Amino acid sequence: MRLKRILSPIITLVLLAGAGFAAYRTQDQWMPHVFPAKAAKSGDAHAEAGKADEHGAKAVDRVKLSPQAQKNLGLDVDTLTPQEYWRTMLVPGVVVDRPGESDRGVTSKVAGVVTAIKARPGDTVKAGDPLFSIQLASEFLQSAQTDLAKAAREAEFAAAKRDRVAALVKQGTQSGAVLIEEENQVKRYTTQVQAYRRQLQVFGLTPDQVNRAEKGEVITEVTVFAPAPSAVPGTPTAVSQTADRGGEEAPVAAPLFEVQELKVTLGEQVTAGQTLCLLANHQRLFVEGRAFKSEADALAAAAENKTPVRAEFADETPGAWKPQVPLTIHHLSNQVDPATRTFAVYLPVDNQPRTFERDGKTHFVWRYRPGQRVRLLMPVEKLVTLAPDGKTELLPFVLPAVAVAREGGEAFVFIQTGDVFVRKPVRVLYADRSDVVVANDGSVSEAEFVVRNQAAALNRALKAQAAGGGGGDPHAGHSHD
């Protein structure tokens, strides 16, 4: 009896606890029937929350950032200005030499032995600088010098004889026919002298050396010089380039050659016409683009209209050189490469040098070098927005690519109002890796301050705020349980 009195309250307590737990777990099923007014009130609360969500859509599209967060992001905010923009076509390219102008070989005009090499690979020389000294080993050249000296002496004797005959004719003791014959003899010897002089100059003797040979001196060595401006087709003869000397510009005489490769060694015997070295003139180069045949019409139109083409050169540090002016197409190749199915497009580019001194010589460092990769942005279409009247063309807004955030088919920009950043949808007309062109359709105006960078970061902050109950989710922060 005593045990029964003890267990009975315990069992009753357990049964009541189980019933209470079951009622709590099933409250959603029996509460609407037992307390209909309370259930209706709870439903109204949810409806009111939904209305707040509907009317608070703008609150979801805005995010507030502290001054510290704005500084951490380094926001760039500015107003927009409509501007002209052309949709571009990307054409890969490479810097190449100009055939017949950039590279040339220097040959020996006579047979002989190389006795001095005055310029070596890496040295920069200008037109007229000495390159090699060659000791003559040509019997023909030695004979030509002897014949020149002999013809010069004969011309002197003939001239002296003509003068004596002229004096006799004047006195009346000699006939005029004899004087005419002597004058013809002087002309023959003079013609021979001029022919020998030209012949020696063709073989590389300087005018001073030819004069010495005419007087009887035997020339045993000639100097090979860098080619003169007139010997380089298409190369400007005036000062046309500038060298950057620590921010100051100094004139550079054209043309400038860099010794690219030596073809002979000291003491080597060479023959007439043998190549002594290779020179490179990198003042004017070509950018060779590779385009598909389907793009030929657009490129031909750009060449005909002299449309400026923007070039982006690879492996360049921003700000290290002056901005490159837009290029224009020089000509298009009429042959398609059967392997790549592309054809070449050529654009001339003027090179930019820097100088430094080493061992008393000036060396040049060129900005563009053959083999350097290039991205050519060919304009093909002008982007505009039509006004509501359907006739007026409105220029678009051009923003950096980092100023627009993407979510599926939607694109957004952020407008700053104090510490609040409002997200606005926009229509993108064109986008590439650097620029985004936004339609001027009223989505944003010129009076608004648009964030020009960190759009993706602002969009993430907006989502985090909404998920954390900072004004985006009306149900956040409390439970209906």
Query: How high is the pLDDT of residue 252?
Result: 43
Distance between CA atoms of residues 72 and 65, nearest Å = 11
Cis amide linkage into residue 255, ω under 30° from 0: yes
One pLDDT digit (tens) per residue for the chain, 481 residues:
565 566 677 777 777 777 776 666 666 666 666 555 444 444 444 444 444 443 334 557 888 888 888 888 899 999 988 988 888 888 999 999 988 888 888 999 888 999 999 988 888 888 888 999 998 887 888 888 888 888 889 888 888 888 888 888 888 777 778 888 888 988 998 999 899 889 888 888 888 888 888 888 888 888 898 887 544 444 444 333 444 433 334 444 456 788 989 999 999 999 988 999 999 888 889 999 999 988 888 889 888 988 889 898 888 877 788 888 889 999 999 999 999 999 999 999 998 888 888 777 777 788 898 999 999 988 877 888 777 776 778 889 999 999 999 998 899 999 998 889 999 999 998 888 888 999 988 889 888 999 999 999 999 988 888 876 554 444 444 444 4
- Contact call for residues 196 and 148 (beta carbons, < 8 A): yes
Nearest partner of 244 among 319, 312, 188, judged by Cα: 319
- Contact call for residues 105 and 227 (beta carbons, < 8 A): no
Nearest partner of 137 among 115, 108, 110, 112, judged by Cα: 112
Residue 172: left if φ>0, alpha if ψ -120 to 50, beta else—which one? left
C-alpha dist (Å) from residue 459 to 72, 80, 318, 403, 466: 15, 20, 29, 11, 11
Domains and CATH numbers, the chain: 57-84+383-467 (2.40.420.20), 89-99+283-381 (2.40.30.170)
Task: Kindly state the helix (H) or strand (E) to which residue 140 belongs, with its residue range.
Answer: helix 139-171
Query: How high is the pLDDT of residue 56?
Result: 38
